[in-house]
Amino acid sequence: MDLTLKIWRQKNKDAKGALKSYDIKGVSPDSSFLEMMDLLNNNLIEKGENPVAFDHDCREGICGSCSMYINGEAHGPDRLVTTCQLHMRKFKDGETIHIEPWRAKAFPVIKDLVVDRSAFDRVMNAGGFVSVNTSGNTQDANATPIAKDAADKAFDAATCIGCGACVATCKNASAMLFVSAKVSQLALLPQGQVEAQRRAIHMVEQMDHEGFGNCSNTGACEVECPKGISLENIARMNREFLSATITSES
Amino acid sequence: MAGGSASASLAEMGYNVKAFCFQDSPRRAHSIAAQGGINAAKNYQNDGDSIYRLFYDTVKGGDYRSREANVYRLAEVSANIIDQCVAQGVPFARDYGGLLDNRSFGGVLVSRTFYAKGQTGQQLLLGAYSAMSRQIGKGKIKMYNRHEMLDVVKVDGKARGIIARNLVTGEIERHSAHAVVICSGGYGNVFYLSTNAMGSNVTAAWKIHKKGAYFANPCYTQIHPTCIPRSGDHQSKLTLMSESLRNDGRIWVPRKIEDVEAIRSGKLKPTQLKEEDRDYYLERRYPAFGNLVPRDVASRAAKERCDEGFGVNKTGEAVYLDFASAFIRYGKEKAMVEGVEDASPEKIRELGEGVIEAKYGNLFQMYEKIINENPYKTPMMIYPAVHYTMGGVWVDYNLMTSIPGCYALGEANFSDHGANRLGASALMQGLADGYFVLPYTIGDQLADDIRTGPISTDLPEFAEAEKLVKEGLNKLVDNKGTHSVDYFHKRLGKVMWDKVGMSRNEKGLKEAILKFKKYAQNFGAMLWFQEA
Ligand SMILES: Cc1cc2nc3c(=O)[nH]c(=O)nc-3n(C[C@H](O)[C@H](O)[C@H](O)COP(=O)(O)OP(=O)(O)OC[C@H]3O[C@@H](n4cnc5c(N)ncnc54)[C@H](O)[C@@H]3O)c2cc1C
Ligand code: SF4
Ligand code: FES
């Protein structure tokens, strides 16, 4: 396949970036989007130009590193995949593809397509855990049975990979889907239920503090989320958060 | 994962920890990609499991080349890992009674593997990450993301810090400590194509080796039997299909070479081939274990069939992993349970597909996205790929390397898996080392340092190490080469795979050395490489 790529190039976090056009030839339809980017970078390096910086690591859709906004969609046109799992067979020969970084106030661009997502880590540090020490002296794992249904729902929420596509997609750059996935996972399990409200309050406070926007229930995040994290989680978190703020006020 | 869990435990115990990773968050370490599960001697299934049996299986699976004392300790703490993870909110799979479910893995006759669909590693890593986040929030761990460790600094023979590069600013930084713990994963990427992440390079382990840490058993690399086959030269990595699939999938190739040709040219579909024309070669050769033979056996058997010309895809490097009989077996069971009477074969298959989807849905989806074929309707194609390295940095019972004060945990060390690792035992080792072993053994070394006080990064040893790192980097940057790093990596990896892969002999190894020398010359200014 032959393609034209329009890629966001930005030297560092303070520089002004711009889209730059590149032609690329001989892309295999069986290659992944990132393998196409590898080919481009190899061509650039052999010509003595600077390769395009982008985040990636596992290349199998699970680490959440890759983060490209392709033709106006986070992780590109396919559903339930990350950019590294997107294959070139989803594009047409001769097509022009726009590639930009995530855009959100809380995710500043560091270079080219790389953004700083450390705000997510700070939200996690504020409460994304069960307060239990790793002494190994906890009770036997089967001491508290957990209904399969609750365990399965907790698992579904726990599959969030922290990629930030939800934030990049949301017109308000809200992180509600990400935060609610963690809050829900832990609230659904007896081990996490005890401090569920406190957790919700602390994580939401940190989220606001980082400059993520408000959730206006548009639902765009759910569509673009590569792991199919459901909006139900936001509803569940709102319940935790509301009941928490009510009890703490009273 | 080993690093995250160790940091969390150490911080809880009162140590001040600095943690480094090259990703933008520790939540992205490659443990995230582990799929199948984690072993523990809980005997929840009442099938005769015990600490001794887990110990025995692990040592036997490793062809008696593991360090037995370390493995025994591993088996002893295995059950605590599961308790710990459940307490942290790791959502393991459960049965309808609300208790934890188990599956069995290759090379083992009991059911002791705990799992979270095909994403066990993700859930365990995120558990460790959350324990770590809690300590980062408290200021007990200082996290350095996007930092690459480039050397260890020794003062008076002891590991006293590291030199790291900030991957955003490019600055070279000095960090001092009373001990250094390396949890940097394996070296599978020397083969270029592997199931490891792109960033899983062996720099950290290699650098401590150059500073005097012994390296043990580098020849022991695990070639995993169930990976998605290679599709072409553009490929940058290979994707694993969890071994747990061998619980339910049957591996075969056509019995007749004519059928192989017809399949390759697209004239025949695998589903059209009659039972008697299929060669379920693992069941034929190993009737007791069948498709659940240990990994090395399954991989060599697949290579043997493909080398004989029975490979079923265009490259001739693929065998089938077929779920047809599992669909029927589970479908019938489900029809009984749900009271569906006189279920038609189609209905049974549909029910069975549902059961398989609940078990392995994400793996089937991943396969379909990569190969563009629906694995519910046609058998999967698989081929062995480099997956795990049993060899690694030599450590003693305390997990200390031969540099005093420098430790190695997880896949980076050599101790627990001998010549072959059994499935679901790396996650167990990583978390055991991190949560329950190192935090207790490290005291043996640190006790002597109780009056040492802070270590200054202005010591001449730090300056010297920094200077060498900078010179090394400049050599790389100023080299007037005409090819990219990938260009060399790809070619060197191919030599490794062809000559130092699944089967090795003297002639091949000698050819490999000659080829490496040739590339080293082409690489010109890159002198490091020739020294090696
Ligand atoms: C696809 C796949 C599936 C697997 N499935 C299973 C399974 O089902 N069950 C099982 O038991 N095992 C499985 N394994 C094996 C197991 O996942 C790994 O062996 C284990 O997770 C390794 O953990 P670790 O903590 O040693 O390394 P990792 O989790 O890889 O962590 C290495 C860390 O070191 C950091 N690092 C490395 N070098 C540097 C450097 N120079 N400077 C700074 N930081 C550095 C990285 O940033 C990373 O955080 C699987 C492996 C793969 C690849
Ligand atoms: S909720 Fe979905 S889109 Fe958002 S970070 Fe998690 S996986 Fe990514
Ligand atoms: S590179 Fe890991 S999810 Fe894409």
pLDDT 10s digits, B13-36: 999 999 999 999 999 999 999 998
Highest-confidence segment of B232-246, B274-288, B467-481: B274-288
| Axis-axis angle for helices A232-249, A176-188 (nearest 10) | 80
- Asked whether residue B457 is domain-assigned, the answer is no
Please check whether residues B20 and B119 belong to one and the same domain.
yes
The pLDDT > 90 percentage for chain A reads 93
Q: How far is the CA of A162 from the centre of ligand 2 (A)?
A: 5
3-state secondary structure chain A: CCEEEEEEECCCCCCCCEEEEEEECCCCCCCEHHHHHHHHHHHHHHCCCCCCCCCCCCCCCCCCCCCCEECCEECCCCCCCCHHHCEHHHCCCCCEEEEECCCCCCCCEEECCEECCHHHHHHHHCCCCCCCCCCCCCCCCCCCCCCHHHHHHHHHHHCCCCCCHHHHHCCCCCCHHHHHHHHHHHHHCHHHHCCHHHHHHHHHHHHHHCCCCCCCCCCHHHHHCCCCCCCHHHHHHHHHHHHHHHHHHC
Q: Return the CATH number at B311.
A: 3.90.700.10
Q: What is the mean pLDDT of chain A?
A: 95
B155: enclosing H helix or E strand: strand B147-155
Residues 217..256 of B with a Cβ closer than 8 Å to A: which? 231-232, 234-237, 239-240
Checking if the pLDDT of A249 tops 80, the result is: no
Please check whether residues B276 and B369 belong to one and the same domain.
yes
B439: enclosing H helix or E strand: helix B438-441
Closest C-alpha among A30, A108, A100 to residue A70: A100
Please check whether residues B127 and B269 belong to one and the same domain.
no
Indicate the pLDDT class of residue B528, thresholds 50, 70 and 90: very low
**Are the Cβ atoms of A129 and B133 closer than 8 angstroms?**
yes
Q: Which two tokens stand for residue B111?
A: 């059911």
Please check whether residues B51 and B178 belong to one and the same domain.
yes
Question: Does ligand 3 come within 6 angstroms of the Cβ of A226?
Answer: no
pLDDT average, residue stretch A134-141: 92
Residue A22 pairs in a beta bridge with A5
Atom of ligand 1 nearest to the CA of B202: 38
Q: Residue B39's pLDDT is what?
A: 97
Q: How far is the CA of B66 from the centre of ligand 2 (A)?
A: 40
| Structural domain boundaries, residue B211 | 2-220+390-449
Domain boundary residue, one of B334, B356, B385: B385
Q: Is B528 in a helix, a strand, or coil?
A: helix
Please check whether residues B286 and B407 belong to one and the same domain.
no
Site of tokens 């074929």: B373
Please check whether residues B109 and B256 belong to one and the same domain.
no
* Rounded Cα gap, residues B213 and B395, in angstroms: 9
pLDDT average, residue stretch A148-168: 97
What does pTM read for this prediction?
A: 0.95
Indicate the pLDDT class of residue B530, thresholds 50, 70 and 90: very low
* Rounded Cα gap, residues A194 and A211, in angstroms: 28
Sequence-ordered list of residues with C-beta below 8 angstroms from that of B182, at least 6 positions apart, any chain: B149, B152, B204, B205, B208, B393, B401, B406, B407, B408, B409, B412
- Residue A142: CB atoms within 10 A of its CB come to 17
- Asked whether residue B467 is domain-assigned, the answer is no
Torsion of CA B125, B129, B130, B131, to 10 degrees: 100
Higher pLDDT, B307 or B105: B307
Domain boundary residue, one of B385, B400, B415: B385
**Are the Cβ atoms of B119 and A55 closer than 8 angstroms?**
no
Question: For the stretch A179-190, what's the b/e string if a residue is b when 16 or more beta carbons lie within 10 angstroms of its beta carbon?
Answer: bbbbbbbbbbbe
- Asked whether residue B455 is domain-assigned, the answer is no
* Rounded Cα gap, residues B153 and B464, in angstroms: 9
The per-residue pLDDT for range B195-228, each reduced to its tens digit, is 999 999 999 999 999 999 999 999 999 999 999 9
Closest C-alpha among A179, A181, A163 to residue A213: A179
- Asked whether residue B343 is domain-assigned, the answer is yes
CB contacts, 8 Å: B372 with chain A: 30, 87, 89
**Are the Cβ atoms of B28 and A64 closer than 8 angstroms?**
yes
Please check whether residues B401 and B433 belong to one and the same domain.
yes
The pLDDT > 70 percentage for chain B reads 98
- Number of structural domains (chain B) is 3
Please check whether residues B20 and B134 belong to one and the same domain.
yes
Please check whether residues B125 and B175 belong to one and the same domain.
yes
Closest C-alpha among B35, B10, B37, B32 to residue B21: B32
**Are the Cβ atoms of B23 and A30 closer than 8 angstroms?**
no
Q: DSSP labels for B38-70?
A: EE----TT-SS--HHHHHHHHHHHTTT-S-HHH
Atom of ligand 3 nearest to the CA of A163: 3
**Are the Cβ atoms of A151 and B234 closer than 8 angstroms?**
no
Mutate to test the interface with A, among B236, B365, B366 (most CBs of A within 10 A): B236
What are the structural domains of chain A? 3-110 (3.10.20.30), 118-247 (1.10.1060.10)
* Rounded Cα gap, residues A231 and B26, in angstroms: 26
Question: Does ligand 2 come within 6 angstroms of the Cβ of A161?
Answer: yes
* Rounded Cα gap, residues B263 and A152, in angstroms: 40
* Rounded Cα gap, residues B226 and B195, in angstroms: 11
Q: Residue B54's pLDDT is what?
A: 97
Atom 3 of ligand 3: nearest residue by CA position: A61
Nearest-ligand number for the alpha carbon of B224? 1
Catalytic residues of B: 295
CB contacts, 8 Å: A58 with chain B: 28, 30, 32-33, 197-198
Atom 5 of ligand 1: nearest residue by CA position: B34
Indicate the pLDDT class of residue B527, thresholds 50, 70 and 90: very low
Sequence-ordered list of residues with C-beta below 8 angstroms from that of A33, at least 6 positions apart, any chain: A68, A70, A76, A83, A84, A86, A87, A88
The per-residue pLDDT for range A28-71, each reduced to its tens digit, is 999 999 999 999 999 999 898 999 999 999 999 999 999 999 99
Nearest by CB to B235, from A35, A118, A189: name it: A35
Q: Which two tokens stand for residue A232?
A: 């139900």
- Asked whether residue B465 is domain-assigned, the answer is no
Q: Residue B524's pLDDT is what?
A: 58
- Asked whether residue B433 is domain-assigned, the answer is yes
Indicate the pLDDT class of residue B264, thresholds 50, 70 and 90: very high
Whether chain A has a CB inside 8 Å of the CB on B45: the answer is no
pLDDT average, residue stretch A193-206: 95
Q: Which two tokens stand for residue B324?
A: 């047809």
Whether chain A has a CB inside 8 Å of the CB on B166: the answer is no
Closest C-alpha among A241, A119, A111, A95 to residue A168: A119
Percent helix, strand and coil across chain B, each to the nearest 5 = 45, 15, 40
- Asked whether residue B460 is domain-assigned, the answer is no
Cα B235 to Cα A87, B272, B305, B490, distances in angstroms: 12, 30, 24, 10
Indicate the pLDDT class of residue A174, thresholds 50, 70 and 90: very high
Please check whether residues B78 and B194 belong to one and the same domain.
yes
Q: Residue A248's pLDDT is what?
A: 60
Q: Residue B30's pLDDT is what?
A: 97
Sequence-ordered list of residues with C-beta below 8 angstroms from that of B263, at least 6 positions apart, any chain: B254, B269, B270, B273, B312
* Rounded Cα gap, residues B365 and B373, in angstroms: 10
- Asked whether residue B206 is domain-assigned, the answer is yes
Contact present, A239 and A232 (Cβ < 8 Å): no
Q: Return the CATH number at B162.
A: 3.50.50.60
